[in-house]
Structure 1
């Protein structure tokens, strides 16, 4: 457990609000530069049992659907779910705060991106999160750029992080029933607590800050590329597999539903259209 956990919770919560506002502004800037003057629409929700959050959703000409959600929830896990959570064996009391970002793009050539960062407190506490890219059309140059930028961010904190968290991402974002990866990977980490609050918190901030600028460069490179209805069909089928992962395997989806979170917010990650 970090020293002064109440201060840690406050710092994390304040930072996540800052991150939410920053990402929304940067994504609105992309929409304004390349599309229309669409803005995020926000909707607050409260959780029976403690806490709540706010959804920010935008439908535009560049972002077909993008969600930036923030939540702070607390209370008690149910007995069954508590057995799956570190530090909840003796006391089922928990506190959790985080931001979840998912962008599904109108152009089939611009990949979907997911980023999540969270801080959870039971009788233990830890950070979790990561970011990954899901293209409909594989682009090795784009993939290499994405991973190189993530490595730079990880190396700022610890040079062992990128290879370790890349491997975790490849293992996690995988569809066993199809025997294929969800996308081209990224980084994923959970239960991160080195005992050094400033180090762990700084790493999470670095990930959150880096994602919008990395993704902006990816959008800039592809947004004007012409596409056909056949290209869109391929994107929609790829999105169907994205839906399968989020409903069958995603830890965040399961955590939100098992803690009686807002269903609309929990399922924000689903695309507006998909096919099978």
Structure 2
């Protein structure tokens, strides 16, 4: 593992940045095209981009990334698209978490490198579903793996929207083997479950972690197609739902569902825990939280 070429890690990091650029452009286009229906009188939203830094214990360079957040747009109430590449030494808490996942040798050499993209969108119109997506690569001298996926989180569910989202994911996964979609769908159903509420966070999607088949190129290509599936799976749903009229009761339903989303991300989400434990920019890590939520 120590001999993994820098070019492989560079290719992964460059891909996550390319995907970030495509998504930011597509979301700003949605803002520009929203000329009728609720919120159309508002100014089209634009992403604010800031540089993030990981803070190492000894003050050495530990990487960072870009945090891109749009607030108060016509379509998106809050959406963040973050990309980062971080590296250095894992602290004791993170080492213990890696060891629990079966990564050997962390106590001898806790060096790591990680890169990825993370996206969460909270929408103005309660008929538009919230969504989450991330893909990432993680490397240590002892192991490497890919992970990620995307899941749909509507507060008002439409069966046809759920079917489209899942069918698009499946179409992108099937060329890699028809066994992938059912397995990753089941994984998402298990991962995005909220035990203390006894329910799923949303209507599911696909998810994988610790992906290392032994063929880096194949696993990288699979991860790329998980990322490529996102826009065609999600954008048509936003285009269809953004013009629908809604009631105060619909908005209340949205805010309550956002409370469920916040609970999951703060209590269970592995990425949130890792980001905070390894000293990454807290604002970037907690970008996923909605701007407004309520609890009953």
- TM normalised by structure 1 equals 0.97
Aligned mates of 2:181, 2:288 — CA distance in 1: 25
Mark the runs of 5 or more structure 2 residues left unpaired by the alignment: 35-39, 57-61
Aligned mates of 1:68, 1:130 — CA distance in 2: 14
Q: Which of 55, 67, 70 is equivalent to 1:58? A: 70
1:94 and 2:112 are equivalent in the alignment? yes
Alpha-carbon deviation of 1:130?
0.6
CA RMSD of aligned residues (A): 1.3
Q: Deviations over 1:148-206 (max 9, x none)?
A: 11111111212111111111100000110010000000001000011112211111111
Q: After TM superposition, which residue ranges in structure 1, 4 or more long, deviate above 6 angstroms?
A: none
Alpha-carbon deviation of 1:233?
0.4
**Counterpart residue number, 1:12:** 12
Mark the runs of 5 or more structure 1 residues left unpaired by the alignment: none
Q: How many pairs align? A: 276
Aligned mates of 1:275, 1:26 — CA distance in 2: 30
Q: Which has the larger radius of gyration?
A: 2
Q: Deviations over 1:241-267 (max 9, x none)?
A: 000000000000001000011000000
Give yes or no for contact 1:108–1:232 (8 Å, CA) kept in 2: yes
The within-5 A match list for 1:1-276 is 1=1, 4-34=4-34, 35=40, 36-49=43-56, 50-59=62-71, 60-85=73-98, 86-87=103-104, 88-122=106-140, 123-276=142-295
Aligned mates of 1:206, 1:80 — CA distance in 2: 32
Give yes or no for contact 1:2–1:197 (8 Å, CA) kept in 2: no
Q: Deviations over 1:183-241 (max 9, x none)?
A: 00000100001111221111111121221122111111111110011100000000000
